[in-house]
Amino acid sequence: MGYLVASYLRTRLLKIQKAALWLDANDDARSHLSEEEQSFHARYVQLYRQHVQREAWDHHTAAALPERVKDVASAAELLAKPPNLDAHVFCVALRDCDPVVLGRGAEAVQLAQSDIALLPYGPLRPLIAAGDVQLT
């Protein structure tokens, strides 16, 4: 059991690192992180910016670049990619749910209480927000 929890936490931290710049610009998404995850995220973004400053912009070949180009915040907009809402996730239905249409031309999926499924994240968002479905 300890291995599964540790694996889950590693995966969660990797996702936060991958989306760090996007999370930094998105208050609503960041509000879904736990207090510890928010602390990790803030420190990670700070270290990332320090790294970019030191390794890229402080390098002698970058001295000729204009200061506005060296601003990590402006570069972050280009690097900040939102998560893929079409990625599949495992979920469990906490109660019987209304049918969920998974995409154009796709049939609807009905989740009954305790059903476990592998479905695209995007269509599940309203069910997750309502507390009908939990990601596993």
Quickly state the pLDDT bin for 39 (edges 50, 70, 90): very high
Q: Is pLDDT above 80 for 41?
A: yes
Q: Is pLDDT above 60 for 17?
A: yes
Question: In percent, how much of the chain has pLDDT > 90?
Answer: 34
What 3-state DSSP class applies to 8? helix
Q: What are the angstrom distances between the C-alpha of 91 and each of 76, 88, 114?
A: 32, 10, 10
Distance between CA 90 and CA 11 in Å, rounded? Answer: 14
What 3-state DSSP class applies to 99? coil
Mean pLDDT in residue range 55-73:
64
Question: Are the C-beta atoms of residues 52 and 21 closer than 8 Å to each other?
Answer: no
Mean pLDDT in residue range 55-81:
64
Rounded to 10 deg, the angle between the 2-18 and 35-52 helix axes is 50
Q: Give the helix/strand (H/E) hosting 51.
A: helix 35-52
User: 3-state DSSP helix/strand/coil percent for the chain, to nearest 5?
Assistant: 55, 15, 30
Distance between CA 133 and CA 136 in Å, rounded? Answer: 10
Question: Are the C-beta atoms of residues 72 and 49 closer than 8 Å to each other?
Answer: yes
Question: Are the C-beta atoms of residues 83 and 135 closer than 8 Å to each other?
Answer: no
Task: Give the pLDDT confidence of 91-103 residue by residue, as tens digits.
Answer: 999 999 989 888 7
Assigned CATH for 88-135: 3.40.5.60
Domain boundaries, the chain: 2-79, 88-135
pTM for the full predicted model: 0.64
